[in-house]
């Protein structure tokens, strides 16, 4: 995902002179081609994330569209006030991209775990929030966010994360991005809805469930805010069981979105949320080990869904 971001940004920026890149003293080799192809349009802002977002807001007010890039936790935690007051309040088109979402930097501990960002930032008016599931989805999100000319926050994984097959749009609407079918079964009464790079594990868990004879659909939900409530309601009405899976705390993101939505329906499907526990996580090891420990690996996900179906 990280490499795809750099590749797609160049493609967009070549055709749009207003785009500039600001980064927080990371990804220097990642952006070598950008700097070579588009000299004087990238700025290393150092380890000063608050200032970087403030500078981006100033550039946006003078006609530029800045893309801000750094490690995810350093972006939304350190620059929280600047995102709210410098970017969202005046509604300037700053596109913030945080790498290492969720538990991507698991072995580096709590300072690098971003498990509350979507829920926290959903509280800000005017902010478009995205959690793409794979490189292809990310590439389209970047174009969508740029065309929207609105403040945007995009959480992405690291190199090698987020491998999914070609996605199929669930509903077409020029004002919203997604959701998308990753896979579906004939006459399935169960849908698993995910966002972010954990979607690869969800997709693999669907394959395991089908070996048990359990028909299940998988939908990725990349746009966290704003929401197309009408379209999402039409989707969930088709199923008896709706299960959200996210590498995020249960507060504020997919779990909150769908529990609130389903509570307002006259005919309500059974709803289940699978997420990271609301706690600080230590000693988890690398990403694969962390997901297995927290029940987010494909086998654990499949077993949880299998148990739900039997109830």
- Whole-angstrom Cα Rg for the chain: 19
Give yes or no for a contact between 169 and 195, defined as CB atoms under 8 angstroms apart.
no
226-251 confidence digits (pLDDT tens) = 999 999 999 999 999 999 999 999 99
Predicted confidence at residue 212, as pLDDT, reads 94
Instruction: For residue 71, count other CB atoms closer than 10 A to its CB.
Output: 23
Say how far apart CA 220 and CA 203 lie, in whole Å: 10
Q: Provide the pLDDT confidence category of residue 168 given band limits of 50, 70 and 90.
A: confident
Q: Provide the pLDDT confidence category of residue 7 given band limits of 50, 70 and 90.
A: very high
Predicted confidence at residue 175, as pLDDT, reads 87
Predicted confidence at residue 5, as pLDDT, reads 95
Give yes or no for a contact between 304 and 212, defined as CB atoms under 8 angstroms apart.
no
Instruction: For residue 180, count other CB atoms closer than 10 A to its CB.
Output: 23
pTM of the model: 0.96
Q: What is the mean pLDDT of residues 282-310?
A: 94
Of the candidates 100, 92, 39, 108, the residue with the CA atom closest to the CA atom of residue 75:
100
Give yes or no for a contact between 278 and 251, defined as CB atoms under 8 angstroms apart.
yes
Q: What is the mean pLDDT of residues 193-198?
A: 96
Write out the two tokens for 177: 């991005």
143-152 confidence digits (pLDDT tens) = 999 999 999 9
Q: What is the mean pLDDT of residues 205-211?
A: 95
The per-residue DSSP string of 146-174 comes to HHHTS-EEEEE--TT-------EESS--T
Check for a shared fold between 2-156 and 168-310.
yes
The CATH homologous superfamily for domain 2-156 is Thiamin diphosphate (ThDP)-binding fold, Pyr/PP domains (3.40.50.970)
Give yes or no for a contact between 133 and 102, defined as CB atoms under 8 angstroms apart.
no
What backbone torsions phi and psi does residue 193 show, to the nearest 5 degrees? -115, 125
Say how far apart CA 96 and CA 116 lie, in whole Å: 16
Give yes or no for a contact between 45 and 26, defined as CB atoms under 8 angstroms apart.
no
Say how far apart CA 205 and CA 200 lie, in whole Å: 9
Q: By mean pLDDT, which of 17-21, 61-65, 161-165, 221-225 is the weakest?
A: 161-165
Predicted confidence at residue 166, as pLDDT, reads 65
Q: Mean pLDDT in the chain? A: 94
Q: From residue 299, how far is each of 41, 124, 206, 208, 219 by CA, in Å?
A: 46, 36, 10, 7, 18
Q: By mean pLDDT, which of 34-48, 77-91, 160-174 is the weakest?
A: 160-174
Of the candidates 204, 224, 198, the residue with the CA atom closest to the CA atom of residue 133:
198
Higher pLDDT: 171 or 308? It is 308
Q: Provide the pLDDT confidence category of residue 43 given band limits of 50, 70 and 90.
A: very high
Say how far apart CA 181 and CA 15 lie, in whole Å: 31
Fold (topology level) of 168-310: Rossmann fold (3.40.50)
Say how far apart CA 243 and CA 273 lie, in whole Å: 6
Domain ranges of the chain: 2-156, 168-310
Predicted confidence at residue 187, as pLDDT, reads 86
Q: Provide the pLDDT confidence category of residue 110 given band limits of 50, 70 and 90.
A: very high
Say how far apart CA 98 and CA 75 lie, in whole Å: 6
Write out the two tokens for 165: 């097959």
Predicted confidence at residue 27, as pLDDT, reads 83
Predicted confidence at residue 80, as pLDDT, reads 98
Write out the two tokens for 9: 């940004």
């Amino acid at each position: 995902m990280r490499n795809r971001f750099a590749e797609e940004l160049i493609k967009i920026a070549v055709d749009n002179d207003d785009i500039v890149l600001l980064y927080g003293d990371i990804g220097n080799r990642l952006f070598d081609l950008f700097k070579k192809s588009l000299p004087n349009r990238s700025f290393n802002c150092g380890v000063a994330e608050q200032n970087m977002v403030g500078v981006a807001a100033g550039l946006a007010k003078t006609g530029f569209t800045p893309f801000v890039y750094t490690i995810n936790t350093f972006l939304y935690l350190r620059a929280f006030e600047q995102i709210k007051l410098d970017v969202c309040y005046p509604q300037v088109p700053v596109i913030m991209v945080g790498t290492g979402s969720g538990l991507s930097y698991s072995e580096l501990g709590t300072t690098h775990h971003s498990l509350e960002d979507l829920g926290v930032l959903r509280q800000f008016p005017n902010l478009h929030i995205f959690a793409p599931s794979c490189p292809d989805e990310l590439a389209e999100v970047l174009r969508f966010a740029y065309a929207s000319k609105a403040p945007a926050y995009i959480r992405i994984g690291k190199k090698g994360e987020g491998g999914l097959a070609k996605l199929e749009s669930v509903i077409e609407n020029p004002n919203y991005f997604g959701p998308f079918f990753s896979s579906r079964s004939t006459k399935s009464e169960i849908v698993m809805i995910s966002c972010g790079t954990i979607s690869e594990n969800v997709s693999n868990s669907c394959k395991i469930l089908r070996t048990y004879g359990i028909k299940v659909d998988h939908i990725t939900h990349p746009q966290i805010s704003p929401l197309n409530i009408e379209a999402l309601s039409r989707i969930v009405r088709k199923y008896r069981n709706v299960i959200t899976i996210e590498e995020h705390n249960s507060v504020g993101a997919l779990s909150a979105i769908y529990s609130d939505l389903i509570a307002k329906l006259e005919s309500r499907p059974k709803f289940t949320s699978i997420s990271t526990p609301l706690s600080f996580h230590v000693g988890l090891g690398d990403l694969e080990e962390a997901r297995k420990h927290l029940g987010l690996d494909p086998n654990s996900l499949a077993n949880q869904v299998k148990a739900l179906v039997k109830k």
